A and B are shown apart, each in its own frame.
Chain A
Amino acid sequence: AQKITQTQPGMFVQEKEAVTLDCTYDTSDPSYGLFWYKQPSSGEMIFLIYQGSYDQQNATEGRYSLNFQKARKSANLVISASQLGDSAMYFCAMREPQGAQKLVFGQGTRLTINP
């Protein structure tokens, strides 16, 4: 069974609009962490934002925020005021609860920002 599911293979958004990238996860461990990474066409993996399962507030980092709905097991990434440079692959990942500091990644969403 998929531990991390990203249901949107691709998304097209107009510049300056907000965009939400979906991520749902599956775990029975009460302690876990959720991450979002950006992978531009150059290939590197760029950390965006982190949410711990016990964090009371939704995480925010500049234009990025994480809509964390624990009961629904969803951790959607919201990008406000999108820019052309936001065009990239976006990966949701979860810290493997039972394992030793490893992450499980979703399949990714390819975001394209149109001018």
Chain B
Amino acid sequence: NAGVMQNPRHLVRRRGQEARLRCSPMKGHSHVYWYRQLPEEGLKFMVYLQKENIIDESGMPKERFSAEFPKEGPSILRIQQVVRGDSAAYFCASSTQVFYGYTFGSGTRLTVV
């Protein structure tokens, strides 16, 4: 039973390019969460999704960031026109409907050059 799968593990983008981060939840998990970790900091909540629905996006920057969790396929976190300040580790987590905590993926390390 595979865990939460994130890809790519490392992503390098030039300023102004788009970054697409993918997350496949654990089998049987219908809830997906995205978190961002800046260097030497704790994780900060970005967005919570269920299939085809954004439930809570209170942590998402207002511009350039979007997330989706389609009926089929992985959840995608999309960052348009990346800037150096977007460099961070982005973690995806999943859970069942009954929340006792998450299973995290291994993260995607985004570097903007």
Contact = CB atoms under 8 A, between A and B. Distances in A.
Given A43-B89, A44-B106, A99 B58 contact: yes
A96 B104 CA distance: 17
A37 B35 CA distance: 14
Interface of A: 4, 33, 35, 37, 42-47, 50, 91, 93, 95-96, 99-108
Contact of B100 (A37, A50, A96): A50
Nearest to A96: B45
- Dominant SS among interface residues on chain B: strand
Contacts of A43: 89, 106-107, 109
Contacts of B28: none
B31 interface: yes
Contacts of B41: 107-108
B35 to A, nearest CB: 8
Contacts of A46: 104
B52 to A, nearest CB: 16
Contacts of B85: none
A45, A104, A106, A108: which has the most chain B beta carbons within 10 Å?
A45
A102 B101 contact: no
Contacts, number: 59
Given A44-B107, A102-B33, 12 more contacts: A43-B106, A43-B107, A44-B106, A45-B91, A47-B101, A50-B101, A96-B45, A99-B56, A102-B45, A102-B48, A103-B102, A105-B44
Query: Is the interface on chain B under 10, 10 to 19, 20 to 34, or 35 or more residues?
Result: 20 to 34
A103 B45 contact: yes
Contacts of A45: 43, 91, 93, 104, 107
Given A102-B33, A104-B45, A108-B42, A47 B102 contact: yes
B56 A44 contact: no
A4 B33 CA distance: 20
B4 to A, nearest CB: 10
A107 B107 contact: no
B109 A107 contact: no
Contacts of B93: 45
